[in-house]
């Protein structure tokens, strides 16, 4: 069952563009870690509404630079799942990034 859930989550999250606000932490603009975590949780819940999602945790803020990524983990229906958020484009204060199964 975990594998099936993993494939379903990966298929539904891969290539989905999410918009995130920028923060000016240090000298580089970035999407706040908590915003990335919230988006991942919402995406998992929207594609798997009958599954409990908790403990979404990302390693850091997502730097607003094409190709940058941040690793994340979430507990989905009692099983740890790994994800990554990858920046696809930056346009002013808007960062487009995908969330993919890692």
| Domain coverage including residue 69 | 2-101
If one counts every other C-beta atom within 10 angstroms of the C-beta of residue 81, the result is 22
Q: What is the pLDDT of residues 37-86, one digit of tens each?
A: 999 999 889 888 999 999 999 999 999 999 999 999 999 999 999 999 99
What's the confidence (pLDDT) of residue 94?
Answer: 85
Helix/strand/coil for 95: strand
Reported pTM: 0.74
Counted domains in the chain = 1
In whole angstroms, give the CA distance from residue 1 to residue 85: 24
């Amino acid at each position: 069952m975990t594998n099936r859930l993993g494939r379903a989550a990966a298929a539904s999250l891969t290539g989905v563009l999410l918009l995130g606000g920028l923060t000016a932490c240090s000298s580089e603009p970035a999407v706040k870690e908590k915003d990335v975590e919230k988006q991942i949780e919402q995406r998992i819940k929207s594609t798997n509404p009958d599954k409990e999602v908790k403990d979404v945790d990302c390693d850091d803020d997502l730097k607003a630079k094409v190709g940058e990524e941040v690793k994340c983990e979430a507990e989905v229906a009692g099983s740890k799942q790994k994800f990554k958020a990858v920046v696809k484009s930056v346009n002013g204060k808007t960062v487009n990034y995908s969330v993919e199964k890692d």
